[in-house]
Amino acid sequence: MNSLRMIFKYWLRSRTYFILEFTYLVISTVFYMLTPVFIGRMVGGLQSNAPIKAFLFNFSMVLLFTSLHYVSNRAARLRGAEVSSRAVYHLRTDISNAIYRQSFSYFDKTETGQLISRATSDIEETQMIFGMGLTVGIQSALQIGGVIIGFVFFNLLLSLILIPTIGASLLLSYYIAKKLKPIFLETRESFGDLTNTIRENIVGADVVRMFSTQNKERQKFLTNNKRFYDASVASVKYNSLYLPAIYIIIGVMTISNLVIGAFRFIEDPRTLGIIVTLQSYIIALSFPLMMFGQILLAYIQADAALTRVREVLDSTPDINDFPDASPIESVNGDIIFDNVSFGYTPDHRILKNVSFNIPSGKTLAILGTTGSGKSTIINLIPRFYEVNEGSIKVDNRDIREYLVKDLRKNIGIVSQETYLFNKSIAENIAYGKDDATKDEIIEASKIANLHDFIISLPKGYDSIVGERGTRLSGGQKQRLSIARALLIKPKILILDDSTSSVDVETEYQIQKELLRIMKGTTTIIITQRISTIRGADYILILDRGRVVGFGDHDELIESNVLYKQIYQTLYIKQKSNIKSEEGIN
């Protein structure tokens, strides 16, 4: 019933058109039900040698009602097309909005292929019920009701046969639908897994070929494809039961009408008209009976898809604006972590009672062993995730007191994994600022030491970067990401190993420009470059989610054993570039 309510909810998004369509369908059904009456009178009149005028009148009424049925039915279908198209349009919009509003944790738990499947093919599966289900479903119900009324009026005995047979067809529909529901759900789930397998093989094509695991991935695809095939075949197996059963029901009704009608005709030849009228009703009944069953099956199929769609629509984001959250008028950039504890799952804490303070305009370098929580800290500042305990403050106010969009507009982030859109270089740099000017784009690219490369391209800033930036090198993608973050002129800049793919000289140029342009900006850096570490105002040392050191280089090299070990390890790894690195300082 949840899916049925959902279907009506989206139909009623176009309430006026829905009411008009229903009205036209009622009018169309009246004309549809009256037509057999005049067909019976016309044939009965021929048998009883009625005047030619009566024949012509009845014939004219048949033509009139048929024409009016066509006109009103077409009007209903036009209104229905508007209602169904708008319903699917609103459903697509709602699911895309639901995806946009989700927090980072949602995508941690949800497979991308399944999400794509729900937003595309699952929506496609609902189009039949939103379209044909509205016009044909309502029309079939009205016509079945009209035929039952006609039979009761003209022949009560035959109606006692008709009503149970219609009931039997509906029970058969229910039985088939009940069997098909889990099969259709399996169809949608297997198709989602199939989509996810294809996506992984496209996105991870280089890894698959690097390890020569094409056969393994092909087998995974074949397994999911077989699941989808088996579910599709099973659905056809049950679906094929319905139409032959309807033909049998129509045949039984026809034979019953002819047999009973023959006895009545022998007793009274004037009943021929009624026999023809009833036979016309039986013929008229065949279409709505077939369609009603198909609509019920379409509903079950849509129910499986809508069940999956509702899971997305009903998902609530973990990160929301608090009721008393306020806009940010200006940001200085003071950051305070006050006994912050956090875990991506309830039973495993990544950070444990982390506390530190970064004054505005200062630079913090974060060091630590693998899995110590470095990236987690920078994910918490923009509220990508919510802290479990403690608080994070910006300018001495809990970040939960700010509007999320305002908080993030003041934070520039350059992550390890740079994602670029298949657009021009200029569009990618200006992604976070719609009104960015060409001069601002160029300035940001110069700071990121990217401008000379861009102008060397045939189309310059209009060059397309390719899907996920495949036409750029790793270092070029990182520099473009830096330019994108700098363009919004953030008061807090987060660099997560953002120069790991560039050479030492390029990093030197970027660092020099950053020092010049980012004065007064609070900067947090996760890096493996010792020159950057030594140049930071503060260094935070993490070990297993706890703060084990905080201070500048000189303080920590003398007093902190873990820092000294990390620093010496990095120094050895980079000693071939020591002279270049020392030049930064």
Whether 307 and 369 map to the same domain: the answer is no
Secondary structure E strands in 172-250: none
Domain that holds residue 584: 331-410+535-585
| Domain end position, chosen among 313, 342, 366 | 313
Identify whether 73 is part of a domain.
yes
Phi, psi for residue 155 in degrees, rounded to 5: -155, 100
Say how far apart CA 555 and CA 347 lie, in whole Å.
Answer: 36
Mean pLDDT of 368-396: 90
Q: How far is CA 156 from the centre of its chain?
A: 53
Q: How far is CA 207 from CA 133, 194, 471, in A?
A: 46, 19, 18
Whether 261 and 148 map to the same domain: the answer is yes
Residue type, 486: L
| Domain end position, chosen among 313, 345, 375 | 313
Counted residue by residue, the chain has a size of 585
Six-digit token string for 497? 């190993």
Say how far apart CA 527 and CA 196 lie, in whole Å.
Answer: 33
Identify whether 375 is part of a domain.
yes
Identify whether 481 is part of a domain.
no
DSSP 402: B
Name the least confident of 85-94, 186-195, 477-486: 186-195
Name residue 523's beta-bridge partners: 363, 493
Whether 139 and 25 map to the same domain: the answer is yes
pTM: 0.71
Whether 124 and 210 map to the same domain: the answer is yes
Whether 223 and 353 map to the same domain: the answer is no
Whether 235 and 363 map to the same domain: the answer is no
Whether 275 and 338 map to the same domain: the answer is no
Residues 6+ apart with CB under 8 A from 291: 136, 137, 139, 140
| Domain end position, chosen among 313, 348, 375 | 313
CB atoms within 10 A of CB 235: 20
Identify whether 524 is part of a domain.
no
Identify whether 91 is part of a domain.
yes
Mean pLDDT of 359-365: 90
Identify whether 343 is part of a domain.
yes
Q: What is the CATH number of the domain that holds 290?
A: 1.20.1560.10
Whether 260 and 373 map to the same domain: the answer is no
Whether 397 and 278 map to the same domain: the answer is no
Residue 582 has pLDDT above 50, yes or no: no
Rg, C-alpha atoms of the chain: 36
Six-digit token string for 337? 């972590």
CB atoms within 10 A of CB 187: 23
The share of the chain scoring above pLDDT 70, in percent, equals 88
Task: Report which of 541, 509, 58, 40 is spatially closest to residue 279, judged by C-alpha positions.
Answer: 40
Identify whether 289 is part of a domain.
yes
Q: For 172-196, how does the pLDDT look when each residue is reduced to its tens digit (9 = 90+)?
A: 777 777 777 788 778 877 877 877 7
Q: For 407-449, how does the pLDDT look when each residue is reduced to its tens digit (9 = 90+)?
A: 988 888 888 777 788 888 898 888 888 888 889 899 888 888 8
Residues 6+ apart with CB under 8 A from 65: 31, 32, 34, 35, 38
For residue 355, what pLDDT is reported? 94
- pLDDT higher for 99 or 582? 99
Q: How far is CA 498 from the centre of its chain?
A: 31
Whether 350 and 306 map to the same domain: the answer is no
Mean pLDDT of 521-544: 84
Q: What is the CATH number of the domain that holds 545?
A: 3.40.50.300
Q: How many domains does the chain have?
A: 2
For residue 173, what pLDDT is reported? 73
Whether 190 and 74 map to the same domain: the answer is yes
Identify whether 500 is part of a domain.
no
Whether 357 and 249 map to the same domain: the answer is no
CB atoms within 10 A of CB 56: 12
Say how far apart CA 333 and CA 410 lie, in whole Å.
Answer: 9
Asked if 451 and 445 count as a contact pair (C-beta separation under 8 A), the reply is: yes
